[in-house]
Amino acid sequence: MASAPRTKPTLTADQVKALAQDHGFDVCGLADARAPWEAGARLQAFVDAGHHGSMDWMETTLARRSHPTAMWAGARSAIMLGVNYGPDTDPMEALTKPDKAVLSVYAGGDDYHDVIKKKLKAMAGELHRLTGAEVKVFVDTAPLMEKPLAALAGLGWQGKHTNLVSKDYGSWLFLGAILTDLPLAPDQPSLDHCGRCTACLDACPTEAFPAPYQLDARRCISYLTIEHDGPIPRAFRKPMGNRIYGCDDCLAVCPWNKFAQTGKEVRLALRDTLRDLSLSDLAFLDDAAFRTLFAKNPIKRIGVARFLRNVAIGLGNSGQASHVPAARHLSQHENPLVRGAGVWALQQLLPAGDFSALAKTSMAQEENASVRAEWGQTQ
């Protein structure tokens, strides 16, 4: 007589959540990976409208992002996990110091991709050992729409700024996902608690939200300072202020942050070496110094040229003549992307006559058309 096939041991939802806590996650929710959802259609509309800008990978991976099972047909459950990275200061205060560089809160410590993935792999490995289940881990570099899944798993809801909002942690959760073939009882999806509030939309310096729950990345300072590899469009330079890597305005003003807590993961905390960074000092970083300052940090991924481009915009917006030497240094940089931004900074900081006189001699020596165009601009 043939024996019945051995069934895999499973875990209860509470056991999975206890395991998540043991592995350093602050929140855990479960979702049915096969459940229908509208996120794929919203992403299609986002791409069709061109709101993804130059992020071509969003278009090429669109089919795989359309649903969790498009990534893995065998997925039955999604274990959604979050790590709190709440800041120890108000991010909006940094905007009042025009000679200092403002970095997005998430970029203050070690690269969260590395920190979260290590935790995910450890937890997924234990799940496999305990149950024999298949598991796959994802952070936001993979084509999995983690924010809609997190909402489906009850971790929070996607606010009008399209980011996840948590009742317990406000705006400050890093997300990770484990897809598995385990049949786990799903949590209730989160309800939207934005109400009539539009604080996030009103706070955006570049009006990057064409409507609630819609983002045009091409106007977003986070996209412009991180993903965009060309000159910053002139219309967005002044609104950038001293934000040189990312922008937290729409996150920081959310009223639900009254429940936010300072993050406990020390590797994600703001490093002392990245507090109160002087724009002028940053302007003189070479590639080696840049890599040293941002070792194991997400900022290192954009490279020194793109970073210095952003620094130059910050210098130009400082309104401080003491920054002229730093701007002048960048206007002579070997990379035309940096030079062009440095020229713009000089134009903002120098009296019009002084800039015009400098432009006459500099344009004759400049071979790059884009940089020459910057020299030829008038206020």
For residue 5, give the amino acid letter. Answer: P
Q: Annotation-wise, does 254 bind a ligand?
A: yes
State yes or no: 140 annotated in a binding site: yes
Is position 220 annotated in a ligand binding site? yes
Q: How far is CA 288 from CA 294, 326, 336, 353, in A?
A: 10, 18, 19, 37
Residue 171 labeled ligand binder = no
- From the list 110, 111, 140, 202, the catalytic residue is 140
Tell me, yes or no, if 22 is annotated catalytic. no
**222 annotated as a binding-site residue:** yes
CA distances from 37 to 32, 40, 82, 147, 164 (A): 11, 7, 21, 12, 16
The b/e string for 273-292 (b: 16+ C-beta within 10 A; e otherwise) is: ebeebebbebbebeeeebee
Q: Which residues pair with 136 in a beta bridge?
A: 179
Is 197 known to sit in a ligand binding site?
Answer: yes
Is 250 within any annotated ligand binding site?
Answer: yes
- Residue 166 annotated as part of some ligand binding site: no
Q: How far apart are CA 312 and CA 330, in angstroms?
A: 7
Q: Is 65 annotated as a binding residue?
A: yes
Give the span between the Cα atoms of 97 and 113, in whole angstroms.
29
Binding-site entries for [4Fe-4S] cluster: 194, 197, 200, 204, 220, 247, 250, 254
Binding-site entries: 65, 140, 164, 175, 194, 197, 200, 204, 220, 222, 247-248, 250, 254
- Give the residue numbers marked as catalytic: 140
Binding-site entries for cob(II)alamin: 65, 140, 164, 175, 222, 247-248
